[in-house]
Structure 1
Amino acid sequence: MAQTDRRAQDTNAVDEPYVPAARRLPEITLKALLLAVVLAVVLAGANAYLGLKVGLTVSASIPAAVISMAILRFFRESNILENNIVQTAASSGEALAAGVIFTLPALVILRYWQGFEWLPVMAVAITGGILGVMFTIPLRRALILQTRLKFPEGVATGEVLKVGAEGGRGAKTLALAAGAAAVFKLCQTGFGVAASAVSGAVAAGGAIFAVGSGLAVALLGVGYIVGLNIAVLVFMGGAISWFIGIPLYMVLAGPDQVQTITQGAAGYEAALAVWSERIRYLGVGAMAVGGVWALVSLAGPVRDGVRSSVDAMRRARSGEEGGLARTEQDTPINFVLYGALAMVVPIFLVFLFVVDQDALGISGGLYFGTIIFGVVFAFLAGFLFSSVAAYMAGLVGSSNNPVSGVTIATILAISLILLGLLGTQVDFGVDAGRATSAAATAILVGGVVCCAAAIGGDNLQDLKAGHIVGSTPFKQQIMQIVGVVAAALAIAPILSVLYQAYGLGGVFPREGMDPAEALTAPQATLMASVSEGVFAGGLPWGMFGIGCALAAAIIVADRVLEARESGFRMPVLAVAVGLYLPIELSVPIFVGGIVAALAGRALSSRRAALGDDFDQVNLRAARRGLLFASGLITGEALMGILLAIPFAAAQTTDVFALGPEVLGLGEGVFGVLVNALGVAAFIFFALWLYRVASAARG
């Protein structure tokens, strides 16, 4: 285990950037700026559709890097830092889209909004996004240089950029993996001839024991990059929820309560309903405690980072020598502070514009007090959860970062506080309209925080890639704001088009629309249920409390492991991620971690035979495995975004589907073949990754 951990650390450590600090290349050029803006808008639109349709978004860092390399190659002069600048802005636009679609559609689902007006949507997105950029700038040194988190997708993006600049055998490894993963994704999501997930369940004694596994090879690659330790913790969280929490709840709650939740569903679907309605709140509680603990743990490194930035600014003003190297120059801390504080005014104005005093039925004094409190809460919670999301991106990557989980914690907190404040003048139990207005107020605050958190996680991932290739941090931070602004200006029209075309979460703009084609907006639906549930009653507070207690126990266990200098650690947020995410996402990450450990062990067994060449062979094999895993992430992400274009144009995800009638098969036979092909292909990719990562030659 110790050998595996050292190998993973060597794989992800970047002591010297690809482009040395002493070398200066053009970064923010006109062509890079224009391409970045276009990609930010396009990828934001594609991810908005995917997120509203299936509840998952795809990190755009790697696809944007690949697209940038393909386009800028046509220019006589381009370089790796330009490509990194493009992907930085483009992925910020995609991340902002996630922050918006997880929250603001809840206002339509609550029927508080009748559509998506450009000004309030843009204002929430741009203020929350810029706060996310500003809040995470002081975290760069703390999380990337000091804590040595893995940032799997940031590492993958950096390797993709390096391979694009170098070409050669590494490029072939990455391209082969990416091509195979893209074809598999096309067969899964496009043609529908390979399963994207498999599941099963067994009923015993009034309880259901269910398990499922996603068959996404991108998650396999993420598991390989994060390594066995984090993969085990994520799976442990899923196992607690699914193998203990769901069966135990079903036994203790009784058949009547379970029937109310499952609505007649059986087997795995029944377990999924119980998890969605009750057990996932274990993860919400664990994230709340884990988030506070992460912020406390990061206080020292963040303080040191701020001091370093202030010192660098002082030296630059006084003309002293010995300033920071180009690759360590962040945006000056005074700009960060003033920029964050400047967002208070537009946040106040948008809250004033959207929150309806008459609908709430409260006095003018309480109304303005509520608005001011909402602004302060959004500002403070934005900082907290931007930090938490940045930390979690370092653990499990941006695509698997449960931003919606920390947003739920935000909405729970602000809803409870608003219930205490507004309940002095309003009886929400007898006035559903006012309960809806109060819930909408909480959603609005949550929207700012969610945008900040989504950007926070994505930005640290991009800064990790920049650290690998040798970019200038403050130039990346400028482009992060560019990406936020571009996506914020476009996101409201995108949401309006999608709402008019499909409907959202059971709410339709006109009669006669097909409910089967509606965008389910699962996160926004959950946000609406949580916020309204606080005012109307019925939330599972017991589960939230148990999750808090679990997190506290895990923190204590991790401190014990730290005192014993154990090679295995238990960062609480990794377990909280597993508690909150569906187990289908935890299993492939776990498999990827196992592959990484087995590959490291296979190489270690050859130490005696390789002799003095062992260290070099080990590093080459680690790089091949990293490139292959990065290729898996790249291929699936690219194909997922490419498929969104025809899906949106045809207004259906079945545009390429090859159903049983097309192939001349019965439903039962077709289903068996689809599952068999999906499982077999996933196993094949796992074995392929192991072979590439454990080969002693090449």
Structure 2
Amino acid sequence: MYFGLQTGWVSTMTMPASLLGFGIFRALGDRMDWRGNGPFTPVENVLVQTVAGSMAIMPLGCGFVGVMPAMNYLLKEEEQGPIVLGTGKLVLWALGLCYFGVVFAVPLRRQVLIRERLKFPSGFSTAVLISVLHGKTREAGAEGIDEGGFASLVPADGDQPAPGRGEESRDANSWRRNVQLLLLCFFVSGVFTFATYFFPVLRNLPIFGSVAASTWLWTLNPSLAYVGQGIIMGPATTLHMLIGAVVGWGVLSPLAKYKGWASGSVDDWEHGSKGWIVWISLAIMLADSIVSLGHLALRSCLRYFPAAEDAWVAIVKTAFGLGSRQGYTSVRSQDDDDEDGDDEEKSQDDAPPEQQISDRIVGVGLVLSIVFCIACIHIVFGNLVPLYATITAVFMALVLSIMGVRALGETDLNPVSGISKLAQLFFAFIIPQSNKSSVLINLVAGAVSEAGALQAGDLMQDLKTGHLLGAAPSAQFCGQVIGATAGAVASAFIYRLYTSVYQVPGDLFQVPTGYVWIFTARLVTGEGLPPMAREWAMGAAALFAVTTAVRIVATGKKWHALIPGGIAVAVGMYNVPSFTLARTMGGLLAWWWRSVKGWQETPLIVLASGFILGEGFLSIVNLVMQSAGVPHFGV
């Protein structure tokens, strides 16, 4: 919630959850479970990060970092706003959104994990980290390991090999160093966060001079948490975000100001260039999403028609001058060509039947979760949101979830922002503009689509980790439901707490995604754009439609990272530079650590986790001091 209200970018934190779970249970001793039946195993660590990750995405999945602030603070009276919900209705809204995406992901599991073996890089990396923490492989963090190699990493129950004395000593020393590094980073980040409460200027350092800081908003927020997030994102994503910041805040913002297209103060969302460039970033996001999701949809259709698929790839490569299709491997795997003959082999790769999630649970759960979602939204908003609109939004969310899961499996990016924008665009056509609630309906429809895609993708990442390490899918499903329930309820109360203590939107919590949501709703429902925003938005959309298509064709090639990603550029454009600069520092640190020094990744993950957890935890202390009226210095 803390990071989401600031920048809209939320991390599921599965790796830090694995680290914390391992550290806590390791500290309890060798026999750690509550019945004293054995040590804390990799399989149990999978369940820890499954529950923790499903809780962590609820602020985003339930719309508390974007949709809800837009309804509460940005809706105008003529748009049936502002909508202010009581705590009970906030809880009901969150619970309504938190289940159907989880249930719908289950039927997709066998296709994307067992048959297609999609990578799901974050789930794979989490499995590597867990295996390293539990001493199953020492080089995985540095070199990566094959999927097939995981079979030897986790011994069967009662088959734990006894390490030699020297090996055990090395493991203990490595574990001790990692814990010390985690605690040190936690302490340093926490102290800095605590200091920013008394000296708020620390969050906006004028690195390019006072004029650039006060007039053009070029400051640095040296938040170690955002450095940690940059480490996790990696150098390519953070540098693409930096491109967005330079173009948006270094070129377009002064241009709009001097040309009179945005005559107000730069930090004014309504009349300043801060709001003007949001339209450009929004166009980039829409173009990137439409091309990416269109490619996924076409690819899913063509995978069962190899000749048509080969012809399509040849056309695309010819169009971009990439030569013949020599060396191209069809999307269809060899397994798909002989599905009848390899069922036995695939069943051996999957979990035992008793650990699977039964079809009855999936069928009943999907029906109940959909009905529950529709009922909750109707209770919360009443006649403001027609019943047919809610029903349409839920079923549209299910379709878009398939695209989101496939994109996540192939690229490690779940395009939930683009999915929600597509849903908003679709509802602009089916909801009459004469309806006074059209903007509100648009927001609700987008929130439902985003929730479904986000939760389905999160569960599939967890199922990938569990599949590699031998965890039971049924146990992970239960853990996801438990985490989603607890996270939905907790998020509603935390959102109410933050918005009652802090000014939202304000200096600390600018809710940029809230403005993106409301601007999108107004755009697709017919509200006019600022001067010249349409022309620049169309040009940016055309440019990034091309770059996204090139990125798709270049997947797997060395120069893929050199092509700017539309979503990353858009995020860097609508966030103020202070957040982007800190994340770029983290991305460059990750590049130096891995490429220049060639060190193992596990300490780097520990470093990033300590930074993020330190600020996240101490922000609660700052929240308590703010609510108690403890004075700031220098304000």
Residue of structure 2 in register with 1:35 after alignment:
none
Say whether the 8 Å CA contact 2:227–2:611 is kept in structure 1.
Answer: no
SS in 2 for 1:568: helix
**How far apart in 2 are the matches of 1:308 and 1:479?**
31
Please state if 1:531 is matched with 2:521.
Answer: yes
Unaligned runs of 5+ in 2: 76-80, 137-170, 305-330
Matched, 1:576 2:551: no
Q: Tell me which amino acid in the other structure corresponds to 2:527.
A: G
**Counterparts of residues 106-125 of structure 1 (less than 5 Å):** 106-109=70-73, 110=75, 111-116=81-86, 118=88, 121-125=91-95
The 3 A distance-change label for structure 1 pair 333 and 260 is: farther
Q: Give the TM-score of the pair, scaled to structure 1.
A: 0.63
Q: Residue in 2 aligned with 1:406?
A: 418
- Alpha-carbon spacing, 1:58–1:558, altered in 2? closer, same or farther (3 Å): closer
CA contact (8 A) 1:126 1:484 kept: no
- 1:657-683 per-position Cα deviation (integer Å, ceiling 9, x unaligned): 9846xxxxxx9xxxxxxxxxxxxxxxx
Is residue 142–residue 302 contact of structure 1 (8 Å, CA) maintained in 2? no
- 1:295 and 2:296 are equivalent in the alignment: yes
User: What amino acid is aligned across from residue 448 of structure 1 in structure 2?
Assistant: V
What residue is the counterpart of 2:479 in the other structure?
Answer: 479
> In the TM superposition, what is the alpha-carbon distance from 1:99 to its structure 2 partner?
1.9
CA deviations 1:388-418 (Å, max 9, x no partner) are 46666x25xxxxx775x33651464145224
Please state if 1:640 is matched with 2:610: no
Query: Post-superposition shift, 1:85?
Result: 0.5
Shift in CA distance, 593/482, structure 1 to aligned 2, threshold 3 Å:
same
- Distance in 2, matches of 1:126 and 1:633, equals 33
Amino acid at match of 1:113: I
The answer as to 2:263 corresponding to 1:259 is yes
Q: Describe how 1:24-423 pairs up with structure 2 within 5 A.
A: 48-52=1-5, 55=8, 57-72=10-25, 73=28, 74-75=32-33, 76=36, 77=38, 78-100=40-62, 101=64, 102-109=66-73, 110=75, 111-116=81-86, 118=88, 121-132=91-102, 134-135=104-105, 138=108, 142=112, 146-148=117-119, 150-151=121-122, 155=125, 158-159=128-129, 162-163=132-133, 167-192=171-196, 195=202, 198=205, 200=207, 215-217=222-224, 231-232=235-236, 234-236=238-240, 238-240=242-244, 242-243=246-247, 247-248=251-252, 250-251=254-255, 254-260=258-264, 262=266, 274-275=276-277, 277-293=278-294, 295-296=296-297, 299=300, 323-325=347-349, 331=357, 336=362, 339-357=365-383, 367=386, 369-385=388-404, 387-388=406-407, 394-395=412-413, 403=416, 405-406=417-418, 409-410=421-422, 412-418=424-430, 421-423=431-433
Aligned in 2, Cα 1:387/1:247: closer, same or farther, shift over 3 Å? same
Q: SS where residue 349 of structure 1 aligns?
A: helix
User: If each structure's helix is expressed as a fraction of its own residues, which one has the higher value?
Assistant: 1
Distance 1:87 1:148 in 2: 19
Q: Which amino acid aligns with 1:59?
A: T
Distance in 1 separating the partners of 2:113 and 2:276:
36
Contact 2:253 2:266 in 1 (8 A): no
Gapped regions of structure 1 (runs ≥ 5): 1-47, 361-366, 396-400, 429-433, 507-514, 604-620, 661-666, 668-698
**Counterpart amino acid of 2:133?**
V
Measured at CA, do residues 168 and 584 of structure 1 come closer, stay the same or move farther in structure 2, by a change above 3 Å? farther
How many correspondences in the alignment? 541
Q: What are the superposed Cα offsets for residues 623-672 of structure 1, whole Å, 9 maximum, x if unpaired?
A: x3x112111222123223322432343345996x9846xxxxxx9xxxxx
Counterpart code for 2:70: A
Q: How far apart, in 1, do the equivalents of 2:91 and 2:626 lie? A: 23
* Alpha-carbon distance between aligned partners in 2 of 1:599 and 1:67, rounded to the nearest angstrom: 23
Cα distance change of structure 1 residues 307 and 527 upon mapping to structure 2, 3 Å threshold: farther
Does the 8 Å contact 2:227/2:586 carry over to 1? yes
Once the two structures are overlaid, the 10-residue window that deviates more, 379-388 or 192-201, is 192-201
Distance across 1 between alignment mates of 2:611 and 2:332? 36
Identity %: 16
Tell me whether 1:629 sits opposite 2:604 in the alignment: yes
Whole-angstrom CA distance in 2 between matches of 1:646 and 1:141: 45
Write the distance in 2 (CA, Å) between the matches of 1:339 and 1:278: 40
TM-score by length of 2: 0.69
Per-residue CA deviations over 1:420-462 (Å, capped at 9, x if unaligned) read x323xx2x6xxxxx2xx22222222222223223324433443
Instruction: Check 1:590–1:651 CA distance in 2 against 1; reply closer, same or farther (3 A cut).
Output: closer
